[in-house]
Amino acid sequence: MRMYDVIRKKRDGGKLTAEEIRYFIEGYTKGEIPDYQASALTMAIFFSGMDEEETLELTLAMADSGDRLDLSSIPGIKVDKHSTGGVGDKTSLALAPLVASCGIPVAKMSGRGLGHTGGTIDKLESFPGFRVDIGTDTFLEQVRRIGISIMGQTAQLAPADKKLYALRDVTATVDNMSLIASSIMSKKLAAGADAIVLDVKTGSGAFMKTEEDSLALAREMVKIGTGAGRKMRAVVSDMDQPLGRAVGNILEVREAIDTLNGSGPADFTELVMTLGAQMLLVGDKAGSEEEAADLLREKIQNGSALHKLEEFIEAQGGDASFVADPERFPKAKIIRNVLSPADGYVERIRCDEVGMSCLTLGGGRENKDSVIDLTVGMILKKKVGDPVKKGEPIAEIHAADEAGFSAAADRFLRAYSFSEVRRDPGELIKARIEGR
């Protein structure tokens, strides 16, 4: 087989065979196929597309390019969850201990944040001493013992995707539905869970800006997972404004703790409950959404979910006393309000500008080696549809110094627009998709 012929076939709109896809992925992972041929093929895929069968083959080939995590030593149905990411998305921090307290084994690999969105691993490091590089054996043993562990993604998880994603990033070939779906699902399949619940974001702060595209991506990923023998469900949820009120690592951890205490913001609580219900359904812990919601509420009300978070933090070396007493978390030096420049209603909050404002404060990563300030960020006091008066606080910014506050406040104000007539923010949950 020659790479030249594979590229030419796809360029001319042909359908690649499983052998041709495996040949490409194996050769590229080993370094036998050069970047220029891989970029030519991804560009050909970008223009000619791939059908369902090709997309599944590409996903499986990438999932097989490194280690596949074997979770068979953990009893029960292992359910993983994945979010396509957004601003203020601290869902895993609350959801993982909540479903674990309902008896779903959570063996999750998570990533760090890059750019204007944060990562679960960075947020967890808000707990002093918390370790993410615990090794697979400890990870599995912990899930067997307490039902939950979250570790950093290993380099050996779908290395073909890692290499190809980096290449797509610099060759303008990221935004293709088949390539995105196969990239995400290759990592999920390699991570070994029996069932996967996806949270596909939609709106200005999401990868997919329109509901139509988000729905198509969700359906594509559900098809891939089902084709690979996994139980699948997906939710399309709003990311047209930040999720919840907190943005920034420690602030988001505190909001997740509040939510497990039953006092989180309404939108974030709704998302956690919706995804939690889907996880209990695929994990056979509930027979209906209502039954699942009752069980989740019970675990929040009787303190089991919060206790599971404490057990989890402690098991990975973190100081769990912060869960019961979040006031102990360090705070930024400057905590100051940003005031509304107008009367009326909040019409829009651009997620990318809020994310960039947090990045300006030092709360995110400009590049892989950036050091994050865990204390900085913002608490949104006004969200879309809320009435506001000129001079009233719209948010509280947590900054390390005056210069940081000024730069972040300027940027933050750019995120907001106001109107005289109230705009309805719309439903948080746009769609639910079930696998076969």
Residue 409 · residue 397 · CB < 8 Å: yes
Sole binder of ligand URA in the list 165, 312, 322, 405 (CB under 6 A): 165
> Interacting stretch for ligand URA, rule CB under 6 A, among 13-21, 172-180, 234-242, 375-383?
172-180
Q: How distant is the alpha carbon of residue 216 from its chain centre?
A: 18
> Interacting stretch for ligand URA, rule CB under 6 A, among 52-60, 94-102, 180-188, 307-315?
180-188
> Interacting stretch for ligand URA, rule CB under 6 A, among 123-131, 175-183, 212-220, 314-322?
175-183
Of residues 333 through 362, those in contact with ligand URA by CB under 6 A are none
Closer CB to ligand URA, residue 5 or residue 52?
52
* Helix, strand, or coil (residue 331): coil
Active site annotation includes 343: no
Sole binder of ligand URA in the list 18, 114, 146, 174 (CB under 6 A): 174
Residue 215 token pair: 């729905």
Sole binder of ligand URA in the list 3, 40, 71, 184 (CB under 6 A): 184
Closer CB to ligand URA, residue 82 or residue 350?
82
Catalytic hit among 10, 78, 81, 82? 82
CA torsion, ordered 119, 122, 123, 128, to nearest 10 deg: 170
Q: Which residue type occupies 65?
A: S
Closer CB to ligand URA, residue 80 or residue 310?
80
Residue 147 token pair: 């039902």
Contacts of 291 (CB under 8 A, 6+ apart): none
- Residue 195: CA atoms inside 13 Å, Cβ hemisphere, count? 25
Closer CB to ligand URA, residue 165 or residue 416?
165
Size (the chain), residues:
436
Active site annotation includes 183: yes
> Interacting stretch for ligand URA, rule CB under 6 A, among 9-17, 177-185, 315-323, 341-349?
177-185
> Rounded distance, CA 251 to CA 206, Å?
21
Q: Does 216 bind ligand URA (CB under 6 A)?
A: no
Given CA atoms 353, 355, 357, 360 in this order, what sign does their dihedral have? negative
Q: Does 134 bind ligand URA (CB under 6 A)?
A: no
* Secondary element (H or E) of residue 297: helix 289-301
Closer CB to ligand URA, residue 184 or residue 286?
184
Residue with nearest beta carbon to ligand URA: 183
SS3 per-residue string spanning 112-123: CCEECECCHHHH
Strand 148-152 and strand 246-247: pairing? unpaired
> Interacting stretch for ligand URA, rule CB under 6 A, among 69-77, 96-104, 147-155, 173-181?
173-181
> Rounded distance, CA 9 to CA 214, Å?
29
* Secondary element (H or E) of residue 23: helix 18-30
Closer CB to ligand URA, residue 33 or residue 179?
179
Sole binder of ligand URA in the list 109, 121, 180, 272 (CB under 6 A): 180
Catalytic hit among 10, 78, 116, 187? 187
Chain positions contacting ligand URA, by CB under 6 A = 165, 174, 179-180, 183-184, 207
